[in-house]
């Protein structure tokens, strides 16, 4: 007798909806009522005119309630996520324990200050024009639909926090590998204050991605201004079909990150081991199931030096870290076959590690034609880090640099190639609040920027 699949909840405009009417395979949930998932344009959203300071006060209170040890909803979300996520319990638990940090007052105020500013969020701000007359500009609250990714629960949390600060109305389409985190956070929000305008501004539901019966009915300019999509190529390509006048696609699309290590790493044996540890931290972020996780590492050094580094790196990849485990998913047969071919071409290529998911290092003189997964990294030997810049492109999200003093000689060339973020090696998981994300300020990007040019008398 087969076990009954677990049921997920929906949240519709702040109200929890329970049910098991829709079978989604690994879980079931409530049936969708499409009319309930849109906000009429002739009515302002619940939080449109709420001062952003009041929203921040509310979010801080919500953050205090998002303590894993005392929040039953988060505890249930953790347990329900285990069979759906590729991450193990320890990493998921660490991630859920960090949820409250997104709601810290300092992080919220920094985002608003830099992106896009309190004044334009709260009202019309005078701007001087070239003819010395004035106009007024407002970052008007948007109507947003979101397609989120489930590689980490942090995606759902960031979506909710940024959406709340925008004051807009939001429909969050949850992913199959995390149909739980968003509703756990929104239900906590409702537990703090079910009538707060921010609570009533959110819906989070699940349907199978690409279901045109749902998406073609909802993803329209008569209901929403923009569709914010996270995920891999198929998710982004699927979203683009709905682009139309008045309905824009904002994409956190698939990226590949890299590392750059200078010859300074070889100044001491202790320094080399520390550099390998920092590199392993970046490679193994969420077991390499994140855009910021490094997949290619370019390094200055002799063959013997680089081989010593690769051996240390392979050892470091087998270490449990806060956001990675000693063993990720084993490599699939196709990739194993490709690596076996490279093993046979030694010394042109050298390989450290095995296919168990404990980490694999491939050393070469040019990037290999393999997409590294499951804590696999291609270490590429270069004479000068500046020679590695031409391997970056618009799909390169983050570049971790060691030592950080080398960044100034590389950053303009990397930016010209399309790179969006440069950070210190070992630091790819650092906070992004108040900084550009994927090449733009995310809250400003989704706002509706409106101008009033009428002269005030």
**One digit per residue, pLDDT tens: the chain, 457 residues?**
345 678 999 999 999 999 999 999 999 999 999 999 999 899 999 999 999 999 999 999 999 999 999 999 999 999 999 999 989 999 999 999 999 999 999 999 999 999 999 999 999 999 988 887 889 999 999 999 999 999 999 999 999 999 999 999 999 999 999 999 999 999 999 999 999 999 999 999 999 999 999 999 999 999 999 999 998 888 889 999 999 999 999 999 888 999 999 999 999 999 999 999 999 999 999 999 999 999 999 999 999 999 999 999 999 999 999 999 999 999 999 999 999 999 999 999 999 999 999 999 999 999 999 999 999 999 999 999 999 999 999 999 999 999 999 999 999 999 999 999 999 999 999 988 889 999 999 999 999 999 999 976 5
Q: Is 431 domain-assigned?
A: no
Distance CA 111, CA 102 (A): 11
Q: Is 2 domain-assigned?
A: no
Asked whether residue 280 falls in the same domain as residue 336, the answer is: yes
pLDDT of residue 457: 54
Asked whether residue 232 falls in the same domain as residue 144, the answer is: yes
Asked whether residue 183 falls in the same domain as residue 145, the answer is: yes
Q: Is 309 domain-assigned?
A: yes
Contacts of 135 (CB under 8 A, 6+ apart): 126, 127, 129, 451, 452, 453
Distance CA 83, CA 180 (A): 12
Asked whether residue 28 falls in the same domain as residue 58, the answer is: yes
Q: Is 3 domain-assigned?
A: no
pLDDT of residue 456: 66
Contacts of 324 (CB under 8 A, 6+ apart): 91, 281, 284, 285, 286, 287, 288, 375
Distance CA 184, CA 187 (A): 5
Distance CA 119, CA 139 (A): 9
DSSP 417: H
Token digits of residue 117? 């500013």
Asked whether residue 298 falls in the same domain as residue 245, the answer is: no
Asked whether residue 140 falls in the same domain as residue 69, the answer is: yes
pLDDT of residue 46: 98
Asked whether residue 160 falls in the same domain as residue 243, the answer is: yes
**What are phi and psi for residue 112, nearest 5 degrees?**
-65, -40
Q: Is 420 domain-assigned?
A: yes
Given a contact cutoff of 8 angstroms between Cβ atoms, the answer to whether 257 and 293 are in contact is yes
Indicate the number of domains in the chain.
2
Asked whether residue 242 falls in the same domain as residue 261, the answer is: no
Which residue range is the domain that position 282 belongs to? 256-424
Asked whether residue 89 falls in the same domain as residue 233, the answer is: yes
Asked whether residue 271 falls in the same domain as residue 305, the answer is: yes
Asked whether residue 271 falls in the same domain as residue 415, the answer is: yes
Asked whether residue 249 falls in the same domain as residue 277, the answer is: no
Given a contact cutoff of 8 angstroms between Cβ atoms, the answer to whether 434 and 111 are in contact is yes
Q: Is 433 domain-assigned?
A: no
CATH number at residue 445: 3.40.605.10
């Amino acid at each position: 007798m087969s076990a009954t699949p677990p049921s997920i909840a929906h949240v519709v405009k702040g109200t929890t909806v329970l049910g098991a009417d829709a079978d989604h395979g690994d879980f079931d949930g409530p049936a969708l009522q499409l009319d309930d998932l849109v906000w009429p344009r002739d009515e302002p959203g619940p939080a449109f005119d709420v001062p952003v300071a009041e929203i921040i006060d509310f979010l801080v209170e919500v953050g205090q309630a998002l303590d894993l040890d005392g929040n039953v909803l988060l505890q249930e979300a953790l347990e329900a996520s285990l069979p759906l996520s590729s991450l193990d319990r320890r990493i998921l638990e660490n991630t859920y324990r960090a949820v409250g940090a997104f709601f810290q007052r300092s992080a919220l105020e920094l985002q608003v200050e830099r992106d896009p500013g309190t004044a334009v969020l709260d009202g019309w701000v005078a701007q001087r024009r070239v003819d010395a007359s004035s106009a007024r500009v407002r970052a008007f609250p948007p109507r947003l639909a979101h397609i989120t990714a489930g590689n980490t629960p942090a995606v759902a949390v960031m979506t909710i926090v940024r959406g709340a600060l925008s004051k807009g109305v939001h429909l969050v389409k949850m992913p199959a590998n995390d149909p739980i985190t968003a509703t756990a956070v929104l239900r906590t929000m409702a537990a703090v204050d079910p009538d707060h305008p921010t609570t009533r501004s959110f819906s989070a539901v699940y349907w199978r991605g690409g279901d045109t019966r749902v998406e073609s009915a909802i993803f329209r300019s008569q209901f929403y201004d923009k569709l914010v999509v996270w995920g891999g190529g198929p998710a982004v390509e699927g979203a683009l079909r709905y682009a139309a006048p008045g309905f824009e696609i904002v994409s956190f699309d698939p990226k590949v990150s890299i590392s750059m290590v200078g010859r300074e790493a070889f100044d001491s044996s202790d320094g080399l081991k520390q550099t390998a540890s920092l590199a392993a931290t970046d490679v193994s972020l969420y077991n390499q199931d994140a855009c910021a996780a490094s997949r290619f590492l370019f390094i200055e050094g002799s063959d013997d030096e680089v081989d010593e580094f690769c051996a240390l790196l392979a050892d470091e990849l087998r270490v449990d870290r806060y956001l990675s485990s000693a063993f990720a998913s084993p490599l699939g047969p196709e990739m194993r076959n490709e690596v076996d071919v490279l093993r046979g071409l030694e010394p042109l290529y050298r390989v450290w590690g095995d296919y168990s998911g404990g980490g694999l290092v491939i050393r070469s003189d040019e990037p290999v034609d393999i997409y590294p997964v499951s804590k696999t990294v291609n270490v590429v030997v270069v004479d000068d880090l500046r020679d590695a810049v031409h391997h970056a492109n618009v799909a390169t999200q983050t570049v971790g640099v060691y030592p950080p003093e080398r960044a100034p000689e590389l950053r303009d060339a990397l930016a010209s190639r399309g790179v969006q973020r440069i950070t210190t090696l070992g630091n790819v998981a650092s906070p992004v609040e108040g900084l550009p994300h994927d090449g733009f300020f995310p809250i400003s990007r989704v706002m509706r920027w409106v101008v009033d040019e009428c002269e005030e008398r």
